[in-house]
Chain A
Amino acid sequence: MRLAFSKEDLKMEKMIKLTIDNKQIEVPQGTTIFEAAKQLGIEIPTLCYMHLGDMGIEHKPGGCRICVVEVEGRRNLAPSCNSKCEEGMVIHTHNMRVLNARKTVMELMLSDHPFDCLVCAKSGNCDLQTMAHQFGVRELHYKGEQSTYKVDYSPSIIRDMDKCIMCRRCETMCNDVQTVGALSAVNRGFESVVAPAFEMDLEKSTCTYCGQCVAVCPTGALTEKDHTNQLIRDLADPKKTVVVQTAPAVRAALGEEFGMEAGTLVTGKMVSALRQLGFDKVFDTDFAADLTIMEEGTELLERLQKHLDGDKDVKLPILTSCCPGWVNFFEHHFPDMKDIPSTARSPQQMFGPIAKNYLAKQMGIKREDMIVVSIMPCLAKKYECQRDEFKVDGDPDVNYSISTRELANLIKQANMDLSIMADEDFDNPLGESTGAGVIFGATGGVIEAAARTAYEVYTGKTLEKVDFEALRGMEGIRSATVDFDGLPINIGIAHGLGNARKLLEDIRDGKSEYHAIEIMACPGGCIGGGGQPLHHGDSSILKKRAAALYREDEGKAIRKSHENPYIIKLYEEFLGKPCSELSHKLLHTHYFDKSNEIEIE
């Protein structure tokens, strides 16, 4: 990975004139042929190159050799993604020689690729398949050795390395962006493969299941564990009451799978699709997000009050705990700090026990007859709902989680077109939510929602303006001070685990000045989750999804979690008060040390 040049850097640079496909262009020194061509509207095909604009990440290993172009006067074709423009260059991006070379490279790649496209999970959404089609590959002239690896099934992610083309995008996401370090290229030559240390299963590695590797994989080598068949079976079972909860980020991205513009809100259409699929109740994880704010916000204020009272043992800053990828990350990499995050469960895991203990009783059904399904933008959620601490006598509070992409496939399977569906409302009581719950899906949203409630509870005053704009944005690490009626509260925000690591190292070194920190594992927050429609590195899509959530928030009648009438009722009828004994039993959790134990004899 290399950092891209910022526009300011480029202004200082010398300009270079060159010709690409008979068109003249002037670019700053240091620009690659690939980027220069793009400015002319020429999209050179590539399988390994990846540019995540706002995140400043450019992955250009020059490995796939698909992006080769001819530079007049040079003996060999040049990989355009890592060849820099030079003065007077004359470049051809699609002459006979280039097209032949690309097709040959593609055929060589396919000679070591399984031919199960028809049943591959990535079919229809696979860059390799699309490009083979685009290049008009109709027969393979090469036959050679085929790699054979054991398929690695983890609770969230499936690795089928026979389908890997060694673009190594996943490695960049895992190491440079997320600093998780679960994946590395190992071995050499034909035997080389991207794998965890000692080629162990992902489940035994330091993988956090954030799914960012899956989100950038150009083939079917990395895919999510698919739970749709299980869901179809449960929906067809008359003995089961199947209820669904949908995470905030799903409604801002699902439409993309049906050809809608990024940032289109499909909340109502999604509800009616879920109802037509046969769910008995369609609820909203946003309700549980409001509940999270009640619990986490109360915990924040308790810790803050102790700190103000001079208690030296109190752990500050408090860290949010909604994101299961982030929880996995600190359990593996910062287990010495596992007392710092809030003990509040994530909204998904708050919804489960409320549905199975409170709602089931109201509906007059037994716990074991209720199936709770969640629709999540996330792959780590699949692992989270299987954690032992979230089960009662082996029965999970949330039975399983399906991703936004899986839901889209299921809707298509059922022969429905989301874009023409009517809008419907969520069921109650677990479908009512406030604007605070909606913004949980974007970076900064959880802490903004917490600030809205904590401010009013702490000061006893009504917020004049509920929008905390200082907490919003796409910068990897942000900070802001919120005035709690004379008490300055320092808030930190990080999205992307590499950014989270920086904040955690500051805390470990005693350099952190924050009272509260929000962390989301995926760049952009849940809207950029590993289970979302693929954004192919286009960060403008993430911004549109975030804007959609803030739009839904703005349109809500109630925008503060503690004002949600069904939340108030839930506490009155069932939980008592936030952080009560029952709340602790059902809505809080504890964390584990998952670092590698080194036993010294």
Chain B
Amino acid sequence: MAKIKLAKSKVDTLVEICKSFDNDGAELINVLHKAQETFGYLPAEVQEIIARELNVSVAHVYGVVTFYSFFSMVPKGEFPISICMGTACYVRGAEKVLEEFKRLLDVPVGETTEDGKFSISCLRCVGACGLAPVVTIGERVYGRVAAGDVADIIKEYQS
């Protein structure tokens, strides 16, 4: 099997995170949340360490990471764009908005632009259905977004 390279400080941080959840395999999702919060994403190495610390199989950890769209195995961009695909947003045209983001940034869902600036992901309902379709970029929320607005939104971050 391939050797895994990871800085010692990162390993220590992960070990601490797992310990704070009593190294309990049932806490896997919480551990993954905390790890992603710390590292920004969940590369294979991080999943290997978590599996070892929680005494669960790596295949299981990978299964959970790939099941939940919130978890990501690639680093998010400086400005992470999330398009809500919940029912309300979807019926009000979220898909067209998503297509426009993909077209203008030339990057598929779940990936990051080459300059590391933007990443696109989809999420399910942010609880602001009255503003549908909703797009979030970092902590900022955009409501009633139409495909025609997308270019202007991107411009805000390209200075």
Question: Which A residues contact B (CB, under 8 angstroms)?
Answer: 175, 180-188, 195-198, 204-206, 594-601
Determine if B104 is an interface residue (Cβ-Cβ < 8 Å): no
B2 CB → nearest A CB, Å: 7
Q: What secondary structure prevails in chain B residues at the interface with A? A: helix
Contact flag A600-B56 (CB < 8 Å), given A184-B63, A186-B67, A188-B67: no
Q: Determine the distance from Cα of A594 to Cα of B1 in the docked complex, in whole angstroms.
A: 7
Contacts of A594 in B (CB 8 A): 1
Interface contacts beyond A182-B57, A197-B57, A598-B4: sample of 6 additional A-B pairs, CB < 8 Å, sorted by A: A175-B60, A197-B59, A206-B57, A595-B1, A596-B58, A597-B1
Inter-subunit contact B66/A187 (CB<8 Å): yes
Inter-subunit contact B48/A598 (CB<8 Å): yes
Contact flag A598-B59 (CB < 8 Å), given A186-B66, A186-B67, A198-B44: no
Name the contact of A197 in the complex, choosing from B3, B8, B61, B69 (C-beta under 8 A).
B61
Within 8 A of A (CB), among B1-44: 1-8, 11, 44
Inter-subunit contact B3/A184 (CB<8 Å): no
Contacts of A182 in B (CB 8 A): 57, 59
Contact flag A600-B8 (CB < 8 Å), given A181-B57, A197-B47, A594-B1: yes
Closest chain B residue to A207 by CB distance? B59
Contacts of A186 in B (CB 8 A): 59, 62-63, 66-67
Contacts of A598 in B (CB 8 A): 3-4, 6, 11, 45, 48-49, 52
Contacts of A185 in B (CB 8 A): 63, 67
Inter-subunit contact B60/A601 (CB<8 Å): no
Contact flag A184-B48 (CB < 8 Å), given A597-B3, A601-B7: no
Interface centre among B3, B6, B45, B57 (most CB of A within 10 A): B57
A-B contact pairs, 5 of them (CB 8 A): A198-B62, A206-B58, A596-B58, A598-B11, A599-B6
Q: Determine the distance from Cα of A204 to Cα of B44 in the docked complex, in whole angstroms.
A: 14
Contacts of A198 in B (CB 8 A): 44, 47, 58, 62
Inter-subunit contact B7/A600 (CB<8 Å): yes
Closest chain A residue to B73 by CB distance? A198
Ranked nearest first, the 3 interchain pairs of A and B with the lowest CB-CB distance are A181-B57, A184-B59, A184-B63
Contacts of A601 in B (CB 8 A): 5-8
Inter-subunit contact B1/A184 (CB<8 Å): no
Inter-subunit contact A181/B48 (CB<8 Å): no
B23 CB → nearest A CB, Å: 16
Contacts of A195 in B (CB 8 A): 59
Contacts of A600 in B (CB 8 A): 5-8, 11
Contacts of B7 in A (CB 8 A): 600-601
B84 CB → nearest A CB, Å: 17
Q: Determine the distance from Cα of A393 to Cα of B20 in the docked complex, in whole angstroms.
A: 53
Contacts of A187 in B (CB 8 A): 66-67
Q: Determine the distance from Cα of A599 to Cα of B1 in the docked complex, in whole angstroms.
A: 12
Q: Determine the distance from Cα of A338 to Cα of B24 in the docked complex, in whole angstroms.
A: 27
Contacts of A183 in B (CB 8 A): 59
Contacts of B2 in A (CB 8 A): 204, 596
Inter-subunit contact A597/B47 (CB<8 Å): no
Q: Determine the distance from Cα of A196 to Cα of B63 in the docked complex, in whole angstroms.
A: 9
Contact flag A197-B6 (CB < 8 Å), given A188-B66, A597-B1: no
Inter-subunit contact B3/A599 (CB<8 Å): yes
Q: Determine the distance from Cα of A595 to Cα of B49 in the docked complex, in whole angstroms.
A: 13
Q: Determine the distance from Cα of A204 to Cα of B56 in the docked complex, in whole angstroms.
A: 18
B7 CB → nearest A CB, Å: 5
Closest chain B residue to A601 by CB distance? B7
Within 8 A of A (CB), among B57-114: 57-63, 66-67, 69
Interface centre among A197, A204, A601 (most CB of B within 10 A): A197
Inter-subunit contact A599/B4 (CB<8 Å): yes
Interface centre among B2, B48, B59, B63 (most CB of A within 10 A): B59
Name the contact of B5 in the complex, choosing from A188, A204, A206, A599 (C-beta under 8 A).
A599
Contacts of A204 in B (CB 8 A): 1-2
Q: Determine the distance from Cα of A314 to Cα of B2 in the docked complex, in whole angstroms.
A: 33
Contact flag A196-B5 (CB < 8 Å), given A187-B66, A598-B52: no
Contacts of B4 in A (CB 8 A): 596-599
B53 CB → nearest A CB, Å: 11
Within 8 A of A (CB), among B121-145: none
Q: Determine the distance from Cα of A597 to Cα of B63 in the docked complex, in whole angstroms.
A: 21
Q: Determine the distance from Cα of A196 to Cα of B62 in the docked complex, in whole angstroms.
A: 9
Contacts of B67 in A (CB 8 A): 185-188
Contacts of B52 in A (CB 8 A): 596, 598
Q: Determine the distance from Cα of A175 to Cα of B56 in the docked complex, in whole angstroms.
A: 10
Name the contact of B1 in the complex, choosing from A180, A181, A188, A596 (C-beta under 8 A).
A596
Inter-subunit contact A181/B59 (CB<8 Å): yes
Q: Determine the distance from Cα of A135 to Cα of B68 in the docked complex, in whole angstroms.
A: 36
Q: Determine the distance from Cα of A182 to Cα of B51 in the docked complex, in whole angstroms.
A: 12
A204 CB → nearest B CB, Å: 6
Q: Determine the distance from Cα of A319 to Cα of B63 in the docked complex, in whole angstroms.
A: 34
Closest chain A residue to B5 by CB distance? A599
